[in-house]
Structure 1
């Protein structure tokens, strides 16, 4: 079964040129300000929660970054469950997804710290741990998002029957 493609947004090369009457109109830039605001607010909350986790269990020296690994795996699991609920179960306000998905969970998960942790382990003489962490994090995150999405769909289906 083929999935129908969404119509492409046609933007003229010249911003002052006219679009064809049938072409979808791009949203005015000011229409994106609420999205920007909720992503920024959500990002503050997510980053604060991640920082709180690092205060509870900091990684010292060349120790294995368990807190960062757990934060990323938990964040990806929540993303998996949330996206199923948002796209298949709930009808949510248009700003919920950018606030929680992009903002809160984007601020909570931290793949930039992951890369710094890999480098820290490698340059600290723990090549095995660094390479293991390099592979383990994305693999565990993919499993977490998939398992959470599957579990959410299963629970929703059971509840609905």
Structure 2
């Protein structure tokens, strides 16, 4: 299948999932951005599992990497929303919240990625 179609179709699915989560976890104008926080942590976990799963294969896994990794998880997670939410916090004078949001988001998303990798290794070892 055409790589661009794989990425586009996966991206549409990921973006729809992110939108659904944002509707399920609404946030007020000055509150913690739970939807973005959640998708980036969940996305990190899923990417860790996917990375280990794909490493088990050969070049035939490239369509899955494009569809799931670049498409679905790329559309699901969001650095741009994370960035603008932090900018809004800074503009509102919520420097402590912005700093905490940045630190906790990065640490937990990275931790979730490692957790996903460890879980996948335990399953497929």
Q: State the TM-score, normalizing by the size of structure 1.
A: 0.72
Higher relative contact order (CA 8 A, sep 6+): 2
Q: Corresponding residue for 1:45?
A: 13
Matched, 1:82 2:76: no
Structure 2: gaps spanning 5 or more residues: none
Q: Corresponding residue for 2:70?
A: 102
Q: State the TM-score, normalizing by the size of structure 2.
A: 0.92
Say whether the 8 Å CA contact 1:49–1:108 is kept in structure 2.
Answer: yes
Q: Corresponding residue for 1:3?
A: none
Q: Which runs of 4+ in 1 moved over 4 A?
A: 89-93
Offset, 1:155: 2.2
Offset, 1:53: 0.6
CA distance in 2, matches of 1:57, 1:141: 18
CA distance in 2, matches of 1:62, 1:50: 20
Structure 1: gaps spanning 5 or more residues: 1-32
Say whether the 8 Å CA contact 1:86–1:92 is kept in structure 2.
Answer: no
- C-alpha RMSD of the superposition: 1.7
Matched, 1:154 2:107: no
Residues 1-161 of structure 1 correspond to what in structure 2 (within 5 A)?
34-88=2-56, 92-157=60-125
